[in-house]
Amino acid sequence: MDTKDIALFEKDNLNYIYTFSGEKYIYDFSALEEIEELLDPKIFFRANRQTIINIAAVHVVKPQGNQKLSVQLKSPLKLEVDISREKATLFRKWMDR
């Protein structure tokens, strides 16, 4: 799978890849840190402990309480990803490039 097709990496009980077409796959990496090292930081951002998002998947960014952000992803995903207070400033800079 080409990374241009990947909208999101998520670590839950299992590890998932979500594509822009809305498909969901299980992947083998034991940690998101391993994946993060392989990805282009201009395109992918580590949003929190469980999630890495593709800049092209971002639909809306909403401020939350306590300086956190919530990112709504584009259809067909329609998922919301929380950006921690610690990463919110970095995320805004990443989006503004």
Global pTM value: 0.91
CATH of the domain at 79: 2.40.50.1020
The pLDDT value given to residue 43: 96
Among residues 65, 66, 68, 71, which one has the least CA distance to residue 45? 71
Higher pLDDT, 19 or 67: 19
**pLDDT value of residue 50:** 93
Tokens of 78: 């329609």
How many Cα neighbours within 13 Å face the side chain of 6?
Answer: 21
pLDDT at 39 over 90: yes
Q: Can you tell me the distance from the alpha carbon of 46 to that of 84, in angstroms, rounded to the nearest whole number?
A: 10
Domain count, the chain: 1
- Is 44 a residue whose pLDDT tops 80? yes
Query: Residue 69 is part of which domain span?
Result: 3-96
Structure confidence by residue, pLDDT tens digits, 4-38: 999 999 998 889 999 999 999 998 877 888 899 99
Q: What is the mean pLDDT of residues 59-79?
A: 92
Closest alpha carbon to 59 in 74, 70, 69, 44: 74
Provide the b/e sequence for 56-94 (b: ≥16 CB within 10 Å): ebbeeeeeeeeebbebbbeeebebebbbbeebbeebeeb
| pLDDT, averaged across the chain | 92
The tokens for 27 are 């992947």
